[in-house]
Every structure is written in C-alpha cells, then in structure tokens.
Amino acid sequence: MHKVIDLKVLYFGTPVVLIGSRNEDGSANLMPMSSAWWLGQSCVLGLGDSSQTAANLRREGECVLNLPSSAQVDAVDALALLTAAPQIAEYRLKQGYRHERRKFAAAGMTELPGELVRAPRAAECPVQLECRVESATALTGGGRTAFEVSVVRAHVEESLLVPGSDHYVDPVGWDPLIMKFCEFFGDGRRLSPSRLAEGWQMPGRLPAAV
C-alpha cells in the first residue's frame, strides 16, 4: 500500500562529491555535495547560489570532482557544516554552519594541482575528475543552479581499475561514499552519524551500524 505524502527531502541516494575550486584570491576550496549525476563525459551539479563554490564555478569556469570512498566518511563529515562564503545565511547559522577558508586542512586532505585546470585535486580521493563548466541553468523556484560540466581528465587509483584495462573501474572494488536522506552509507550499510543530518534536524535517526 502506498501513501501520498509531502516529501521534505528527496535524497534517495547519490555519490558524495568533493568539489575542488579556486576562490577569488586564488586559495583552494573544497565543498561536499551529493546532487550530481553523470551521462557520457558530462556531469550536472546542483548547487545553492549562496555557496562559495557556485560563485567560483561561475567566475573560474572549471572545477575538480573528487570522489571519496566510504572509508573517507570522517573527512567528508568534517566539511559538512563549513562554508568559505564570507556571508552566512541566518538559516544556515541555525543549522550550525561556520565560516572556514582552509577546507583542505579541515578535512585533513592534501591539495594537488590539476593538470588541465587550475582547480585543486584531493590527493586522498581515489577518483579525481578535472572538469570545465559548459553551462549554468537557474532551477525553478530560485536560489539554485544546475551546472553542466564536461570531464577533461580523469585520475583513478590503479587498484580500482579492472585488471588488464586502462579504461574501466572495477565496480566490485569501488565503494563510493553515498548520501541517502542526509546520512552516509557505504558497502551497503549506514556509516558514522552525519553532522549534516543533525544540522537539518532529520527525524528518526538511528545509531550508526557497527
């Protein structure tokens, strides 16, 4: 039996992405997000317009999509309630967000330069996709933008490749960090508690599986 309800959150489960970009002063920014999907060599990123990353993508026209594994959940969670934007909206302050420009240090990650773009890569992420922004489309309702980016270079940890291939990732060996309704999942189970879920006051939260 189905029930008609007014869903407040539509995060049914997507990979977590750490978007590397450059701030206006040239410093590195690293933002966690999970509104991304791929088709061919293109990816669409859904971002709030008030984020520093959205401003960086508009200005610089490039980024790096760093994909963490489930083992890096703590590093991602450390970034969950941080923003590089100088002005923080009131509702975000209530959720616990604070200003922080040193995102790589906050996550305990190492900044690497891109090879075809200026945006930074995160050395610890098994997959790093250098991208250029192709378009930016305002979404209905305002305050959000869909950025279409094209992948111009992919860096993949060798152990994740199908043996004997330089073109395919082994789906069994690759265990991406997944966000589902503001909670972290990997290897088919719920991982550590999420600061984002706490900030959004998600109901019915259970202790992380052991």
Q: Please determine, for residue 11, whether its predicted confidence score (pLDDT) is greater than 60.
A: yes
Q: What tens digit of pLDDT does each residue of 133-181 get?
A: 999 999 998 899 999 999 999 999 999 999 888 888 998 899 999 887 7
* CA–CA distance, 81 with 91 (Å, rounded to integer): 12
Percent of the chain predicted with pLDDT > 90: 64
Instruction: Give residue 190's pLDDT band: very low, low, confident or very high (50, 70, 90).
Output: confident
Sign of the torsion angle spanned by Cα atoms 132, 135, 138, 140 = negative
pLDDT, residue 198, reads: 64
pLDDT, residue 148, reads: 98
Q: Please determine, for residue 182, whether its predicted confidence score (pLDDT) is greater than 50.
A: yes
Q: Please determine, for residue 88, whether its predicted confidence score (pLDDT) is greater than 80.
A: yes
Instruction: Give residue 208's pLDDT band: very low, low, confident or very high (50, 70, 90).
Output: very low
With contact defined as beta carbons under 8 Å apart, do 145 and 139 qualify?
yes
Q: What is the pTM of this model?
A: 0.86
* CA–CA distance, 18 with 33 (Å, rounded to integer): 6
